[in-house]
Amino acid sequence: MSESVKFDRAAEYYDETRGYPPGADTAVSALIAQAGRFAPHSSILEVGIGTGRVSLPLAPHVGSITGIDLSRPMMGKLRKKQNGEPIMLVEGDATRLPFAAQQFDGAVASHIFHLIPAWQQALAEVGRVLKPGAALISIWADEHNTFATLWDAWNRVVPHNPERVAGVDWRKQPNFIQDAGWQPMGDKLQHRYERTITPGTFMDQVRRRVWSMCWRFSDDDMAVGIPAMEAAIAEHYGSMDTIIHLDARIYVQAYLPPA
Ligand SMILES: C[S@@+](CC[C@H](N)C(=O)[O-])C[C@H]1O[C@@H](n2cnc3c(N)ncnc32)[C@H](O)[C@@H]1O
């Protein structure tokens, strides 16, 4: 039984809260194809494909995509958006990939390894199914720390704050893929974008527990953590409606498996 964080409960709101900003899907897909040297015939694997946020716009760059995910409802959302893109879906666990060795011309992973306790095993599995010379493309966004002062306020009052992530904590171990023996291939590519957010929107998302780290919070945690965040908002931002401009980036880096 996997202890990974399955996203069934997020399927209904995931796209609304995690969607790429306008235009970013096209730009990021081109960067992924460039980083991985993907070609129109390439057969690509996405581990933790979710609702297809990454793979649907990537599909025009490659021959086919196979997506694996623990969550049938998340993949159901992808199916509803799919419009002829050659994407095959498999319900399964990234730590035990049901694929032959050296099968894929590339792999893609976005916001997944922090959800998998056995993340090293998942990485090893990706390495096993890649053809020689094929790369894993890791994609991540850097805007998540925008409200770090508010999480600091939360952490000061919530006792025994549960570990925020089930798998690798990429804030503490940002080079976790390299630490597992993978070699960067080419430069880290980035797509820069601007967007606005208000503290009120952020608090609404905390209350709705939209991020998986919030699923571990008890009602008692919420009862003391939320007022602490609201006080920090009054102190740092003045109002719930203050518009905050984010200068954010999506990063794309290719890695070759350990020899
Ligand atoms: C945060 S979502 C990311 C989805 C997509 N990659 C994206 O960037 O939008 C993480 C997805 O990984 C799935 N997941 C978590 N652990 C997994 C595992 N061990 N094997 C396969 N999928 C997993 C979840 O069910 C969820 O759909």
**In this structure, what CATH number is given to the domain that contains residue 58?**
3.40.50.150
Instruction: For residue 84, give every residue at least 6 positions away whose Cβ sits within 8 Å of its Cβ, in sequence order, or none.
Output: none
Token pair 């959302």 in the structure block, residue: 77
Q: What pTM value is reported for the model?
A: 0.91
Distances (CA, A) of 56 to 189, 190, 229, 234, 249: 20, 19, 36, 40, 20
DSSP state of 257: P
Q: Give the total number of structural domains in the chain.
A: 1
**Which residue, judged by its Cα, is nearest atom 9 of ligand 1?**
53
Q: Is residue 240 in some structural domain?
A: no
Which pLDDT belongs to residue 51? Answer: 97
Q: How far is the CA of 103 from the centre of ligand 1 (A)?
A: 21
Which pLDDT belongs to residue 248? Answer: 87
Q: How far is the CA of 236 from the centre of ligand 1 (A)?
A: 34
Q: Is residue 225 in some structural domain?
A: no
Name residues of the chain where pLDDT drops below 70. Answer: 1-2, 143-144, 160-164
Q: Is residue 210 in some structural domain?
A: no
Q: Is residue 239 in some structural domain?
A: no
Q: Which tens digits make up the pLDDT trace of 88-138? A: 999 999 999 999 999 999 999 999 999 999 999 999 999 999 999 999 999
Q: Is residue 124 in some structural domain?
A: yes
Q: Measuring CA to CA, which residue among 144, 212, 203 is closest to residue 174?
A: 144
Q: Is the CB of 125 under 6 A from ligand 1?
A: no
Which pLDDT belongs to residue 162? Answer: 59
Q: How far is the CA of 212 from the centre of ligand 1 (A)?
A: 11
Q: Measuring CA to CA, which residue among 80, 92, 85 is closest to residue 49?
A: 92
Enter the tokens of residue 194. 């601007």
Q: Is residue 50 in some structural domain?
A: yes
Host domain of residue 119:
8-145+166-194+250-256
Q: Is residue 179 in some structural domain?
A: yes
Angle between helices 148-157 and 219-236 (to 10 degrees): 130
Q: Report how far residue 205's alpha carbon sits from residue 124's, in angstroms, rounded to the nearest whole number.
A: 34
H or E segment to which residue 206 belongs: helix 199-207
Which pLDDT belongs to residue 14? Answer: 87
Which pLDDT belongs to residue 161? Answer: 65
Q: Is the CB of 7 under 6 A from ligand 1?
A: yes
Q: Is residue 20 in some structural domain?
A: yes
Which pLDDT belongs to residue 1? Answer: 41
**Which residue, judged by its Cα, is nearest atom 11 of ligand 1?**
48
Instruction: For residue 94, give every residue at least 6 positions away whose Cβ sits within 8 Å of its Cβ, in sequence order, or none.
Output: 4, 47, 48, 68, 112, 116, 122, 125, 126
